[in-house]
Amino acid sequence: MESELFIEGEPAVFMGRGDREWRERVHQASRGFNLGSECGLRLRFTVSSWRRGGSCFDLDNLTLPVREALGWSDIPFVDTAVEKGRRAGVLVASAREHAQVTPQIWMAEPIIGSVSHTEVHPALAEQLRFGGDGPLRVHLVIHDAGLSVCDFGFEGCVKPTLDRLWPIIGGRPGHPHDHRIHHLIVSRSAARPSGVSIGIEAMTVPHILPPLPPVPAVSFEADEPGVEIVTTREQLQSLVQEGRGHLYNDFGGQIPRYCPIHEVGCLGVRQMLKVAPGRLSVRKVWAERRAPLLSWLQRKRKIFADCACPR
């Protein structure tokens, strides 16, 4: 079951002002909140400014205190992002899926701990540079079973790997422009025998949504006339049999095409029935007419796209 929790307050940066108080707040607020088995951690920070004491700060340093205050360590992935907004805080969510960036780089030897260096890492030699100062999404895929996806400290591999990216993201040795990383995914895969794969892309569309207020883990009521939340395969099947209306896949994340609005007659909707009876892993939202569904999506600040199913 996926669930989420919004913790209000200006998120502190690792070893920065208010770090201890912020960790305590996160710790207290998250009592009783569990990720659930096989779920990863999704963090969505909202900050009121891109600078602290005049300096830029890095997403990994925003993530570290929260990750440590939450305490979980044996998790499949961390998907963390930051955006600027009026209501500062962090949305903590359990998630079954994370954002993905196709890896372009493979470092066969993981970089662990702070390693002072001046040369360009050989794995980065042929890579294109992301010029300018625009926001970037970085995905680290860890292949070594012994390395943690959630060690954002100096001893892990996350921070030292990001430190080496200056030839691509800008900066110089020891001073990478990693403040540009607004979305960071650290996950695990056995696709390579060792080391870390890295995918980087520009976040051309600022489609990270501001955190929503806390919602119950399971909601049956859509609070919009004409809109219904579909949480079980049985509900979905009866809608398919009636064959009317529009169905939104409430997948979450930031990629609109993963959150399509289908027509109930779509191939994509029939394929959703290829699951076990009972609760669906991703809830759907149904409306007979498109207008109330769009109004619900906009009010809930959901991303969406029209489906591209073959008809």
Q: Is 307 in the site for Zn ion (CB under 5 A)?
A: yes
Which residue number, 86 or 311, has a Cβ lying nearer to Zn ion? 311
Give the pair of three-digit tokens for residue 18: 């208010």
Q: Is 294 in the site for Zn ion (CB under 5 A)?
A: no
Minimum distance between the CB of residue 262 and Zn ion, rounded to whole angstroms?
3
Minimum distance between the CB of residue 3 and Zn ion, rounded to whole angstroms?
27
3-class secondary-structure state, position 170: coil
Q: Which range in 73-81, 226-234, 286-294, 299-307 contacts Zn ion by CB under 5 A?
A: 299-307
Q: What are phi and psi of 168, to 5 degrees?
A: -100, -45
Minimum distance between the CB of residue 260 and Zn ion, rounded to whole angstroms?
6
Q: Which of residues 241-270 bind Zn ion (CB under 5 A)?
A: 262, 266, 268
Give the pair of three-digit tokens for residue 80: 């963390």
Minimum distance between the CB of residue 132 and Zn ion, rounded to whole angstroms?
36
How far apart (Å, rounded) are the C-alpha atoms in residues 201 and 299?
29
Which residue number, 127 or 235, has a Cβ lying nearer to Zn ion? 235
Which residue number, 103 or 268, has a Cβ lying nearer to Zn ion? 268
Q: Is 309 in the site for Zn ion (CB under 5 A)?
A: yes
Q: Is 239 in the site for Zn ion (CB under 5 A)?
A: no
Minimum distance between the CB of residue 257 and Zn ion, rounded to whole angstroms?
11
Minimum distance between the CB of residue 250 and Zn ion, rounded to whole angstroms?
15
Q: Which range in 26-34, 251-259, 285-293, 302-310 contacts Zn ion by CB under 5 A?
A: 302-310
Which residue number, 185 or 307, has a Cβ lying nearer to Zn ion? 307
Which residue number, 57 or 248, has a Cβ lying nearer to Zn ion? 248
Which residue number, 7 or 303, has a Cβ lying nearer to Zn ion? 303
Cβ atoms of residues 168 and 124 within 8 Å? yes
Cβ atoms of residues 130 and 168 within 8 Å? yes
Residues ≥6 apart with Cβ < 8 Å to 109: 194, 195
Closest CA to 227 of 285, 171, 170: 285
Please, what is the angle between helix 59-70 and helix 19-29, to 10°?
A: 50
Residues ≥6 apart with Cβ < 8 Å to 191: 141, 143, 197
Which residue number, 60 or 250, has a Cβ lying nearer to Zn ion? 250
Minimum distance between the CB of residue 136 and Zn ion, rounded to whole angstroms?
31
Catalog residues that contact Zn ion under the rule CB under 5 A: 262, 266, 268, 307, 309
